[in-house]
Structure 1
Amino acid sequence: MSLPKLHVAVLMGGWSSERPVSLMSGEGVAKALASKGHKVTRIDMDREVALRLAEAKPDVVFNALHGAPGEDGTVQGMMDLMGLTYTHSGLATSVIAIDKELTKQALVPHGIPMPGGRVVKSAEVHERDPLPRPYVLKPVNEGSSVGVAIVTEEGNYGNPISRDATGPWQEFEELLAEPYIRGRELTTAVIGDRALLVTELKPKSGFYDFDAKYTDGMTEHVCPADIPDEITLACKDIALRAHRQLGCKGTSRADFRWDDTQGVEGLFLLEVNTQPGMTPLSLVPEQARACGMDYPDLVEAIIAETLANAHEANVRTARGHAK
C-alpha cells in the first residue's frame, strides 16, 4: 500500500528500564518519517501522555516504547479507548507476550518448543536451587535481557544463592527459572506475515545481555546465520507461527537458543518481542536491510500494515452493524 503524507506521533521514552533504548528507537523512526515527507510529533511519554496525544491529533501513532507500560498492554488499552490507530500489537497480545510464562501457556500447546521451568518467589532461591544447575533466572515480564542471571556450579552467586549477591532476586519478587540451554543465540524477525532471516548473535564476552545488545562492538551479528538449512527453516517457521498464534501485528522478533549438538531437537524459542528495537544496532532493521529494505522503507511498511489492519477492522465493524 502506498502511503499518503501523514501526521505521525512517535511515542518513545517512558520510565521503564528500557527508556534509553526506546529514545534511540523513537528518534530513528522520527527522522526516517521526516525524510519521507511525513509530519512528525515526538512524544516522550510521561503521565500526561493521553492529553498530549489528544492535542496532537495524529493520523497514526508509531509506538516506539519498550518495556512496561508501553509494551504490556497498558498504553495499548489507553489508545484503544481514545480511538487512536497505532503500530505493533494490540492489548491482548501485548499482555500475553510480555509475560514469559503466559507466552509459554499460549504457544507450547500448539507445538512451539520452549524451555521448561517454573515461576518462583525470589526469596526461595536463597534457600535452595529451584532447578538443577546450570539454570537461568530472569524476570517474568522484562525485555532486553534485563535482570538475567545464569546460575552455574562455578558461579560466584553462592550455593545456595547469597542474599548479598547482586542479581534479579534483589529487584523482583518473582522470577522465572529455566534450564540453561547450552549453544548458540539466534533470532528471527517477522514483518507483517513474513519471516525475514536468522541472525546469530556472538557476544565478545559473557552472554547476550543488555550491554551486549546496545553497546557498539560488544556483539558480532552474523546475518544471515551460518547454520544448517533445516535450522534456518525451523527458526522462520516457529517465529511466524508464534507471531500468528499470539496475534502479533506490525513486526515481532523471536529469540532462540540452539544446542547445535542436538540438531533441530535442540532449538528452543525463548520469547517473542512484540516491539523490537529500532536503534542503529537493532536486529529487525538489520535483517530488513539484508532483505533489500532500507530503514525509512521499513518504518513506512510497519505503518502501511497498521493502516491496512485498521481499514479491515473498520470494514468488519461496518458489516456487523449492517446485519
Structure 2
Amino acid sequence: MLKGGNSHERPVSLESAEGVSRALNDAGYNVKEYDIVEPLITQKMLENVDLVFPVLHGGFGENGKLQEALESMNINFVGSDSKASGIIIDKIKTKKIFVENQIPTARYAILKDGDKTFPSELKLPVVVKAPNEGSTFGISIVKEMSQWETALQNGSGDVSGLILVEEFIEGYELTVGILDGKVLPIVHIIPPCDFYDFDAKYTHQNGETVYNCPPEPEIIPEAAQKEIQTFALRAYKATGARDMARVDVLLCKNTMQPYFLELNSIPGFTSSSLLPKAANAAGIPYIQLCGTLAQLAARR
C-alpha cells in the first residue's frame, strides 16, 4: 500500500491509509506499507508484491504519474489507469468532458495565472478554483469584487498555470460513489458553513457536518436522485474511471437541476469517508469494500 505523498493532502492520505491497512489485514491480506515522500516508485518496493493499493490523494498519486510508473512495470493496481487519472484530477479537462457528454455542469471560464480580468461571460457570485487541487485547497467563493484578487491569489500556482472560475450555484451538496461500475446511494452533505470546505471535512472548528445517505426524499425527491445517479455513471464512463470514483454534484434548490462539478479517482478512504459511507448504505461494510477493490486489481 502506498500512502502519504507530498501534496497538500498528505495528512488525509495518512489517515485514509491507516483505515485501509487495518481493513486489508483483517481481510487476510499481507500488507506492506510505503510512505511516499518523494514522487518515486522503485523496483525494491515492489518485490514479492501481487498488487498495489494506492491511497495517495492529489499530486503524484492521483495525476497519472504513479499509475504510469506501475503500468510500465506491469504491476496490477487499484483504481483508474494513467490516462483516466490524468483527466480526472484536472477540473478543466473534466468539465470539457461533461460538456461533450451532455452532463450538466456550471457555466465556467478559464483564466491564466496573473490575469485579473473578471470573465465577461459570468457574473457574481462565482467560485474560483485551482484546477488540480483537492480537498477544497485553492477554492474561494467571490460574492463581491473586493474579494476577487484575493481569490485569484488563492487559486494561483496550479501546475496547469490556469485558474477555473465557475458560476456559483445555490444548492444541496451531494456526492455519488461508484464501485466497479455500479452506482451507490447518494450522500447529502450538510456543512455548518457556506460550503463543504476543509474545516467542514476534517477539522470541524465551525461545527459538525451532517451526512444523510441516502438523502431524505422530502428534500431530494427519488426521481431527482435517480437522474443524478444516471448522470454520475455517465461521468464515470466518459472519463474512463475504473474500480471506483466519487462524483461531486450541486443540486439547485429552486429548480432541482443538478450541476456536476468533478470526480475523485482516489477519494478519501477512512471508514467514515464519503465513499465508504455510501458503500455501507448499500450493504457493503468497510472491510468488504477494501477487499473488493483489491480483488478487482488482482483479477486484471
* Count of residue correspondences: 292
- Distance in 1, Cα, partners of 2:98 & 2:155: 27
Is the counterpart of residue 242 in structure 1 residue 235 in structure 2? yes
| Offset, 1:158 | 1.2
CA contact (8 A) 1:140 1:176 kept: yes
| Residue of structure 1 in register with 2:63 after alignment | 72
| Offset, 1:123 | 2.3
| Residue of structure 2 in register with 1:313 after alignment | none
Of 178, 182, 203, 1:194 maps to 182
Matches within 5 A, 1:260-279: 260-263=253-256, 266-279=257-270
| Residue of structure 2 in register with 1:321 after alignment | none
Q: Which amino acid aligns with 2:154?
A: P
| Offset, 1:281 | 3.1
Q: Report the structure number with the largest CA radius of gyration.
A: 1
| Offset, 1:124 | 2.3
- Distance in 2, Cα, partners of 1:171 & 1:51: 29
Of 224, 227, 249, 1:231 maps to 224
Q: 1:19 to 1:52 in 2, by over 3 A?
A: farther
Q: Secondary structure at the match of 2:2?
A: strand
- Distance in 1, Cα, partners of 2:94 & 2:223: 25
Is the counterpart of residue 62 in structure 1 residue 53 in structure 2? yes
Q: Which amino acid aligns with 1:238?
A: F
- Distance in 1, Cα, partners of 2:186 & 2:286: 18
| Offset, 1:247 | 1.4
1:224-269 per-position Cα deviation (integer Å, ceiling 9, x unaligned)? 1121011110111111111112111111000001112112xx2111
| Residue of structure 2 in register with 1:297 after alignment | 288
Task: Structure 1: give runs of 5+ residues left out of the alignment.
Answer: 1-9, 311-323
| Residue of structure 2 in register with 1:124 after alignment | 115
Per chain length, whose mean CA-contact separation is higher, i.e. which structure has more relative contact order (CA < 8 Å, sep 6+)?
A: 2
CA contact (8 A) 2:5 2:39 kept: no
Q: 1:121 to 1:132 in 2, by over 3 A?
A: same
| Offset, 1:283 | 0.4
Calculate the aligned-residue CA RMSD, in Å: 1.9
| Residue of structure 2 in register with 1:168 after alignment | 154
Q: Which amino acid aligns with 2:165?
A: A
Q: Which amino acid aligns with 1:112?
A: I
CA contact (8 A) 1:123 1:169 kept: no
Matches within 5 A, 1:1-323: 10-47=1-38, 49-51=40-42, 54-125=45-116, 127-128=117-118, 131-153=122-144, 158=146, 161-162=148-149, 167-169=153-155, 171-172=157-158, 173-215=161-203, 218-226=208-216, 227-263=220-256, 266-308=257-299, 310=300
| Offset, 1:51 | 2.1
Q: Secondary structure at the match of 2:115?
A: helix
| Offset, 1:162 | 4.0
Q: Which amino acid aligns with 1:25?
A: S
Percent identity among equivalent residues?
34
Q: Which amino acid aligns with 1:240?
A: L
Q: 1:140 to 1:53 in 2, by over 3 A?
A: farther
- Distance in 1, Cα, partners of 2:14 & 2:208: 20
| Offset, 1:174 | 2.2
Q: Secondary structure at the match of 1:257?
A: strand
CA contact (8 A) 2:17 2:269 kept: yes
Q: 1:169 to 1:148 in 2, by over 3 A?
A: closer
Q: Which amino acid aligns with 1:137?
A: V
Give the TM-score taking structure 1 as reference length: 0.85
| Offset, 1:47 | 3.0
Q: 1:269 to 1:293 in 2, by over 3 A?
A: same
CA contact (8 A) 2:39 2:60 kept: no
CA contact (8 A) 1:43 1:52 kept: no
CA contact (8 A) 1:13 1:44 kept: yes
CA contact (8 A) 1:214 1:281 kept: no
